[in-house]
Amino acid sequence: MTGAGILLMALVTGAATWALRALPTLMARSEPRPGSVLARFLAATGPAAIATLFMASVAPQLFPVPRDLLPLAAGIIATVAAFLPRRSVILATLAGAAAYGVVFALVA
């Protein structure tokens, strides 16, 4: 991937992250009602965050070096293992990102 491609990906990711964090605040002028557009949006944001992290870690694996698959595998396993007992998207996201980062640092 070229430097311009990486910059474009960083800008798109930054804009999406900002939108996912700012829009609920901007839209939440009043208490969201169950079943409202805002409530459905907020319910989907957690799984969308996990999907985004998953895709960000999978995309470089399109042309993998075998040792580069270890951080991805560790992140996926940690995400699933953290999510299943408590169904906490936050805990699963943190566990997956931490496992990916630690294993990435160890194999680099």
pLDDT tens sequence across 22-54: 777 776 666 666 777 777 777 777 788 878 878
Tell me the residue range of the domain where 37 lies: 3-107
- pLDDT for 7 beyond 70: yes
- The alpha carbon of residue 83 and the mean position of all alpha carbons in its chain are separated, in whole angstroms, by 14
**Does the pTM of the predicted model rise above 0.75?**
no
Query: What's the pLDDT band for 17 if we cut at 50, 70, 90?
Result: confident
Give me the pLDDT at residue 78, please. Answer: 95
- pLDDT for 1 beyond 80: no
- Give the pLDDT confidence of 60-99 residue by residue, as tens digits: 777 777 777 888 899 999 999 999 999 888 888 899 999 9
Give the chain's domain count: 1
Query: What's the pLDDT band for 18 if we cut at 50, 70, 90?
Result: confident
Give me the pLDDT at residue 31, please. Answer: 61
Whether the CB-CB separation of 103 and 71 falls below 8 Å is answered with: yes
Give me the pLDDT at residue 29, please. Answer: 61
Give me the pLDDT at residue 85, please. Answer: 94
String of DSSP letters for 27-94: H-SSPPPTTSHHHHHHHHHHHHHHHHHHHHHHGGGGS--GGGHHHHHHHHHHHHHHHHHH--HHHHHH
